[in-house]
């Protein structure tokens, strides 16, 4: 089974980066895959220049979901919101050295979690500026 996965995927699965929560997060994304039942929660901290200064996650899911959560949180740190919105699940999978075809949907979960956290951040910002 392990042979299907790249060394990088195994590395991030065994020792995931950025696991945890951000108590005063600027945005939180919650997503789930109804088919496999895996869930992911992703936290981002954004500064006033719209740069993501920190990202953390909690994932209850398969190895590929954990590895892609770990990679996506690594990838967004230091990026602006605009740049982060352009990170696709393909980019995450590529950064991990590829994923088996039947595991690509796990990287989609990571992309959706990121989008959902960014949407939450934008909603909160809108509400703030509305008074
Ligand atoms: Fe559910 Fe991987 S099998 S996200």
pTM metric for this prediction? 0.95
| 106 catalytic per annotation | yes
pLDDT in tens, 28-69: 999 999 999 999 999 999 999 999 999 999 999 999 999 999
Q: Tell me the best of 32, 65, 72 to mutate to test the pocket of ligand 1, counting ligand atoms within 8 Å of each CB and taking the most.
A: 65
Q: Spell out a b/e string for 99-123, using b for 16 or more CB atoms within 10 Å of the CB, else e.
A: beeebebbbbbbbbbbbbbbebbee
Please give the CATH architecture assigned to the domain spanning 2-122: Alpha-Beta Complex (3.90)
Domain extents for the chain?
Answer: 2-122
């Amino acid at each position: 089974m392990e042979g299907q996965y790249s060394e990088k995927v195994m590395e991030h699965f065994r020792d995931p980066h950025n696991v945890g929560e951000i108590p005063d997060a600027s945005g939180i994304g919650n997503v789930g895959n109804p088919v496999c039942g895996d869930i992911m929660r992703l936290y981002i901290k954004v500064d006033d220049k719209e740069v993501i200064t920190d990202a953390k996650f909690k994932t209850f899911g398969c190895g590929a979901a954990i590895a892609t959560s770990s990679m996506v949180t690594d990838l967004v740190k230091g990026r602006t919101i605009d740049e982060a919105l352009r990170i696709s699940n393909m980019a995450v999978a590529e950064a991990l050295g590829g994923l088996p075809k039947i595991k690509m949907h796990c990287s989609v979960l990571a992309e959706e979690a990121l989008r959902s956290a960014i949407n939450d951040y934008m909603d909160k910002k809108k509400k703030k500026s509305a008074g």
